Amino acid sequence: MGYSKGGKRADLGGQYFRSRWEANYARFLNWLRDTTGEVVSWEFEAEIFEFTKIKKGVRFYTPDFKIQMANGTVEYHEVKGWRYPKGETALKRMAKYYPKIKIVVIDEEWFKAVNRQGLPAMIEGWEVGESPRRRREL
């Protein structure tokens, strides 16, 4: 099973995720909701942002997760296995056209930190496998 193993996850209500990392992040959000209460709820690919002044290139952006935090704020989290030009452009345009919207990028460093803390062993259903960087090097 590689990083990009897209598919429905029974333990996540049959929700389709594009990658193992997205599914694991959803499990992490559920764990936060159930253990710390820091997260109230989350939705996958819940909103599409349009860059109306842009006529060519990246005109829309759909963050991976919309998260309702316990403090009443809403954050959007983007799971990135690797950076690519269109994704970088979308994040830059979000900062420019929607400066009040908080976007948090969850990347390989985040997953490494979670692994060092031993959280995957505490989160039911956590999927393991090779990292996207390792797969690209092969």
Question: What is the rounded distance in angstroms from the CA atom of residue 23 to the CA atom of residue 32?
Answer: 14
Give the pairing type, strands 39-44 and 49-50.
unpaired
Residues 45-54 have pLDDT tens digits of 999 999 999 9
Torsion of CA 17, 19, 24, 28, to 10 degrees: -60
The architecture in CATH of the region 7-137 reads 3-Layer(aba) Sandwich (3.40)
pLDDT of residue 4: 63
Residues 72-91 have pLDDT tens digits of 999 999 999 877 889 999 99
Sign, CA dihedral 97-99-102-105, equals: positive
Please say if the pLDDT value at position 68 is more than 50: yes
Residues 89-134 have pLDDT tens digits of 999 999 999 999 999 999 999 999 999 999 999 999 999 875 544 4
